[in-house]
């Protein structure tokens, strides 16, 4: 029993040694592009002492199903099976004929997408048995890239709308490509991917813009990136549009007798303008105008007849547009006005005044205006000085007031209405004409009450008093004046505030 167990262990050891002494070496993965050639390496490492190779078989493993591709047998030779017979062969076919079976590498030519799969290389040996290994084959498809214009010519209509102007396509690629655009045009890009039955992908991107004059001759570049490789293609847009018209030649300084003036109609158009037409609004073109293509030449000196609104009509195969300019005629060159420091104020056209007479009249008018201005200034100065001379500059405390409290400022409005100059009294007795004492309800008795000097002055009724003497109100006699017509002495002068001053004070 112990002897049987020892023999079994020895046989197992021999088998383990045989297994570790033989192997099949292959690449884990291989790749290639459609239409190219690729090698699938298979090398058998034999043991020492070597085992006998009975046969080598290549198989394609796809979706869990094995399909024989080629076999090599030391006795039967080499065999390639359909459908690989035309495109697959052993790299060392001559060595195999000499029974050298250690290198059984196969070569695929004209690689196809259907060749993508896992391939098994299997060695049949004696007495060790079968040894095998596997490689994954990936087949890439380089896409076909192209860029096309939607139309050879793109027409920009009056109504603005979005339009696809170019399309970039990366067709039948595996793996799929990415597409980007490079351009100065403002637009939007669309993207569409389509998976084909053979496993490839077609990527298509379109560029959408609003066609206009600005988009004409703009460059569009499509950038296709495939497995790190950049493929570019470019186009230049050809956009047709109506004329863009402007009139050149009028510089705002067309003055009388100027020579060699002209108007030119400039039109930016695609296709170019074929017809130019000139018109003058509310009239016909002047008789001295010569038309050559897109230019109006005015013969002879400038006259007022050239003034008006000129219209240029430009026509091409897409449409018709117009340009307008208003021409006005001045009397004098703008440079002459600037030199004389006079404002440029063109005379309305058609007044018939020659430039020389106009200049002389302007000079005379300016001189007369200057004299009048000096006279007016002298009169105002005289009036101002005269009014200042008539203004009192003395001490108010020395003035004699007919009405008021003695402290009114010169020129101020009186606090009470002035007493009429002529007072009419009825024929009363002498007693009635005596000064009446003011009652307690509305006045005061001068002999019984003393007031503060300032408050008394403010409340004092209309009367005349000499303030140059003592300020003692207790001893002062208040004498009312009832003269019907107060007379002013010859050496006194009346003021606007009701007071009077002496002529000596007036002329101080």
Residue 125, beta-bridge partner list? 53, 129
Q: What is the pLDDT of residue 461?
A: 43
Q: Are residues 64 and 164 in the same domain?
A: no
Residue at a domain's end among 140, 156, 178: 140
Which residue from 398, 387, 383, 392 is spatially nearest to 412, judged by alpha carbons? 392
Note whether residue 159 is domain-resident. Answer: yes
Locate 262 and state its tokens.
């002209």
pLDDT at 266: 96
Range name among 149-163, 169-183, 288-302 with the lowest pLDDT average: 149-163
| High-pLDDT (> 90) share of the chain, % | 54
Residues 229 and 245 occupy one common structural domain:
no
Torsion sign over Cα 246, 249, 254, 260: negative
128 and 187: one domain? no
Phi/psi zone of residue 306: left (φ > 0), alpha (ψ -120 to 50 degrees), beta?
alpha
User: What is the domain range of residue 504?
Assistant: 391-508
Q: Which two tokens stand for residue 454?
A: 């300032």
pLDDT reported for residue 390: 55
Residues sharing a CB contact under 8 Å with residue 6, sequence separation 6 or more, in sequence order: none
- Give phi and psi for 396, each to the nearest 5: -65, -25
Residue that wins the pLDDT comparison between 453 and 253: 253
Give the CATH number, domain containing residue 27: 2.60.40.10
pLDDT interval class at 505 (50, 70, 90) = low
Count how many domains the chain has. 5
**Does 253 share its domain with 285?**
yes
% of the chain with per-residue pLDDT over 70 = 65
**pLDDT, tens digit, for every residue of 39-67?**
999 999 988 888 999 999 999 999 889 99
Are 38 and 133 within one domain? Answer: yes
Q: Token digits for 458?
A: 């403010």
Last residue of a domain, one of 140, 166, 188: 140
At 339 the pLDDT is 67
Q: CB count, 10 Å around CB of 224?
A: 23
* Mean pLDDT, rounded, for 188-203: 96
Instruction: Kindly report the average pLDDT of the chain as a whole number.
Output: 77
232 and 247 housed in the same domain: no
Q: Is residue 445 part of a domain?
A: yes
pLDDT-derived band of residue 482, with 50, 70 and 90 as boundaries?
very low
Structure confidence at residue 80 (pLDDT): 95
On whether both 166 and 85 belong to a single domain, the answer is: no
Q: Distance (Å, rounded) from C-alpha 496 to C-alpha 330?
A: 60
Residues 268 and 378 in one domain: no
pLDDT band with cut points at 50, 70 and 90 for residue 417: very low
Indicate whether 186 belongs to any domain.
yes
CA-to-CA separations, 306 to 254, 278, 344, 351, in angstroms, rounded:
9, 14, 20, 14
Residue 346 maps to a domain? no
Query: pLDDT value at position 332?
Result: 85
Q: Flag whether 502 is in a domain.
A: yes
Same-domain status, 188 and 96 = no
Judge whether 318 and 271 are in contact, CB under 8 Å: yes
**Domain end residue (candidates: 115, 140, 165):** 140
284 with 308, same domain?
yes
pLDDT digits (tens, 9 = 90+) for 57-100: 999 999 889 999 999 999 889 999 999 999 999 999 999 988 89
Q: What is the pLDDT of residue 364?
A: 61
Tell me, yes or no, whether 417 lies in a domain: yes
Question: Using one digit for the tens of pLDDT, what is the confidence trace for 278-319?
Answer: 999 988 999 999 999 899 999 999 999 999 999 999 999 999
Whether residue 340 is contained in a domain is answered as no
Are residues 358 and 274 both part of a single domain? no
d(CA 459, CA 456): 5
**pLDDT per residue over 95-153, tens digit each?**
998 889 999 999 999 999 999 999 999 999 988 889 999 999 999 999 999 999 988 88
Q: Which H or E element spans position 457?
A: helix 453-459
Is 106 part of a structural domain of the chain?
A: yes
> How confident is the model at residue 392, as a pLDDT?
46
**Residues 25 and 118 placed together within one structural domain of the fold:** yes
Residue 145 near residue 231, CB atoms below 8 Å: yes
């Amino acid at each position: 029993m112990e002897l049987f167990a020892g023999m079994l262990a020895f046989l197992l050891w021999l088998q383990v040694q045989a297994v570790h002494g033989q192997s099949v070496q292959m690449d884990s993965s291989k790749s290639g592009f459609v239409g190219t050639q690729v090698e699938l390496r298979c090398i058998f490492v034999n043991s020492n002492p070597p085992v006998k190779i009975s046969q080598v078989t290549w198989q394609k493993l796809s979706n869990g199903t094995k399909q024989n591709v080629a076999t090599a047998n030391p006795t039967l030779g080499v065999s390639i099976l359909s459908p690989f017979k035309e495109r697959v062969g052993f790299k060392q076919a001559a060595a195999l004929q000499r029974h050298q079976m250690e290198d059984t590498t196969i070569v695929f030519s004209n690689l196809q997408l259907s060749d993508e799969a896992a391939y098994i290389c299997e060695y049949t040996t004696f007495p060790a048995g079968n040894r095998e290994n596997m490689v994954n084959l990936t087949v890439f498809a380089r896409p076909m890239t192209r860029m096309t214009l939607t139309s050879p010519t793109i027409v920009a209509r009056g109504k603005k709308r979005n339009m696809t102007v170019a399309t970039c396509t990366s067709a039948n690629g595996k793996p799929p490509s990415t597409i980007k655009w490079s351009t100065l045009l403002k637009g939007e890009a669309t993207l569409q991917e389509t998976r084909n039955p053979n496993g490839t992908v077609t990527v298509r991107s379109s560029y959408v813009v609003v066609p206009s004059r600005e988009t004409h001759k703009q460059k569009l570049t499509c950038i296709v990136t495939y497995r790190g490789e950049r493929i570019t293609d470019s186009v230049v847009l050809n956009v047709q549009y109506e004329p863009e018209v402007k009139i050149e030649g009028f510089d705002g300084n067309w003055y009388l007798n100027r020579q060699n003036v002209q108007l030119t109609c400039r039109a930016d158009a695609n296709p170019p303008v074929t017809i130019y037409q000139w018109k003058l609004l509310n009239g016909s073109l002047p008789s001295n105008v010569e038309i050559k293509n897109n230019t109006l030449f005015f013969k002879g000196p400038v006259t007022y007849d050239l003034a008006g609104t000129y219209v240029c009509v430009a026509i091409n195969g897409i449409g018709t547009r117009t340009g307008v300019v208003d021409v006005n005629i001045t009397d004098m060159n703008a440079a002459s006005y600037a030199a004389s420091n006079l404002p440029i104020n063109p005379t309305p056209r058609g007044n018939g005044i020659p430039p020389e007479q106009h200049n002389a009249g302007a000079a005379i008018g300016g001189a007369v205006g200057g004299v009048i201005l000096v006279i007016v200034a002298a009169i105002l100065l005289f009036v101002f000085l005269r009014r200042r001379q008539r203004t009192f500059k003395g001490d108010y405390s020395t003035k004699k007031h007919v009405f008021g409290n003695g402290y009114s400022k010169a020129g101020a409005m009186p606090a009470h209405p002035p007493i009429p100059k002529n007072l009419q009294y009825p024929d009363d007795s002498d007693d009635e004409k005596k000064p009446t004492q003011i009652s307690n309800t509305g006045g005061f008795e001068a002999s019984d009450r003393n007031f503060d000097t300032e408050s008394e002055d403010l409340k004092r009724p209309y009367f005349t008093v000499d303030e140059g003497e003592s300020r003692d109100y207790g001893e002062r006699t208040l004498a009312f004046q009832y003269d019907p017509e107060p007379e002013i002495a010859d050496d006194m002068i009346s003021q606007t505030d009701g007071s009077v001053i002496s002529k000596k004070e007036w002329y101080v």
